Amino acid sequence: MKPTRRMFLALAGLTALGVPASLWPQLQAPWQMLGGALLLAAGADALLARRRPALRAERSVGGVLPVGAWHEVRLTVHNEGPRALQLDVFDDYPPAWELEGMPHATRLAPGAFASIAYRVRPHERGDGAFGMPWLRVAGPLGLWQATHRAGPEQVAKVFPDVARLLGQALRATDRQAPTSGSLVKRQRGEGTDFRQLREYRRGDSLRSIDWKATARHRKPISREYQVERDQQVVFLLDTGRRMLARDGDISHFDHALYAVLTLSFVAGKQGDAVGLMSFGVDNRWLPPAKGRVGLDRMLAGVYDVQPGESAPDYLRAANDLLNRLGRRAFVVLVTNVRDEDDDALRQAVDLLSSRHLVLCASLRERALDAASSAPVQGFDDALRLAASEHYLAQRQEAIRRLGLRSGHLVDVAPEQLAGALLNRYLEIKESGAL
């Protein structure tokens, strides 16, 4: 319960009338009667305000929202009672989200409704829980307000921004500059799967000539190949403590997840099946699937995955993945290489490489690179430079001890990961390494 402005004005007026009543005794009785009437009115209004009003609330919000964008939510409140109601409306939105347009004050006639629109912006992936809206209703005399809750509880799924993913993939396949994370598109005639026979064209390799068809048609005939299809791309995604690092507003894990989903989209367009296994804090398994089904399953399966404080167990993850994969696959291990567990990581990579083609992707902290290149202007700067150089040297030694060839290791800044993975994927497709 909360007193309204009208209640405070009534009390102020009663107090003001008490001054002349104290000076002229003949005014005391009327003043006391007025105070008693106000007390009875306030009590009756409080009792009526506490009674649950005949209000019904409905909320309209998208079931799936992209992270980082503004979205409209519409709250409709119906007055199904016999009297007009003055109320303040405040929706119970996810507390970590931004909000614009609430609270809202309105007056509802009997049988009327009010449609209230406001905006929210989620900043993290995962489930956003909307509770029952708060409705603060004034009593019939407007002296008290009582807070009630009415309406549905809902959960909105906050997905990665798919439009951004598609933009990355399109920019990559448009053959832009390498610094933008682009790919080199496959040229006609490359690949390992036979596609068709056609007439020889200037520039074709002599090795592509089909001599039997040439003799049969009495003119040069070439074989045309295409990139292999029906392969498997499986991601082994670290959700441990090292992925909590941030460069700016986005964590390393979110950069990694965007890269995984971007490559999943491209691989699906290439006719490959995509799957994922996460390890560390959140352990999930998404079996490889092709086409739109594979991408939809990937999005629905990882949109709410978050990294945590636990250390990753690389060897256990490698064993689990080997037990789940029945055929050879391109396995992309996404993590952040540190020197403290290079032995475990090397054993895991060796184990996976016994059956699969493995690419290890590691994320570099831009803050350390910046610290190592910053000018030294004092003793503190010198200490910071020495510490960062020492750490980067240890990290480079840990990467060297992995024993991976350059083509099987990607060590880039987080924002460059998507382009690096896409480039390496298409190189492997064109070479027929799988």
Residues 372 and 392 sit within 8 Å (Cβ to Cβ) = yes
E strand segments, 321-385:
330-335, 357-363
Residues 193 and 228 sit within 8 Å (Cβ to Cβ) = yes
More confident residue, 345 or 371: 345
At residue 265, the 3 state secondary structure works out as helix
Instruction: Please check whether residues 259 and 388 belong to one and the same domain.
Output: yes
- Residues in CB range of 9: below 8 A, 6 or more apart: none
Indicate the range of 24-28, 336-340, 342-346 predicted with least confidence.
336-340
Residue type at 99 in one-letter notation: L
Instruction: Please check whether residues 73 and 205 belong to one and the same domain.
Output: no
- Residues in CB range of 30: below 8 A, 6 or more apart: 21
430, exposed or middle or buried, with CB in 10 Å at 0-12, 13-18, 19+? middle
**Domain-embedded: residue 28:** no
Check whether 4 has a pLDDT greater than 80.
Answer: no
Number of domain units in the chain:
3
Q: Which of 286, 281, 277, 335 is nearest to 306 (CA)?
A: 281
pLDDT bracket for residue 115 (50, 70, 90)? very high
**Domain-embedded: residue 142:** yes
Report the percentage of the chain scoring pLDDT > 70: 82
Instruction: Please check whether residues 381 and 235 belong to one and the same domain.
Output: yes
Average pLDDT in the 410-417 region?
85
The winner for highest mean pLDDT among 161-170, 340-349, 386-395 is 340-349
Which residue's structure tokens are 């007026």?
13
Which structural domain range is residue 78 located in? Answer: 55-159
For residues 432 and 108, what is the distance between their CA atoms, to the nearest angstrom? 70
- Residues in CB range of 400: below 8 A, 6 or more apart: none
**Domain-embedded: residue 17:** no
Predicted pLDDT at 237: 94
Instruction: Please check whether residues 401 and 328 belong to one and the same domain.
Output: yes
Q: How many CA atoms lie within 13 A of 189 on its CB side?
A: 15
Predicted pLDDT at 177: 36
**Domain-embedded: residue 38:** no
pLDDT bracket for residue 406 (50, 70, 90)? low
**Domain-embedded: residue 13:** no
Longest dimension (CA), the chain: 130
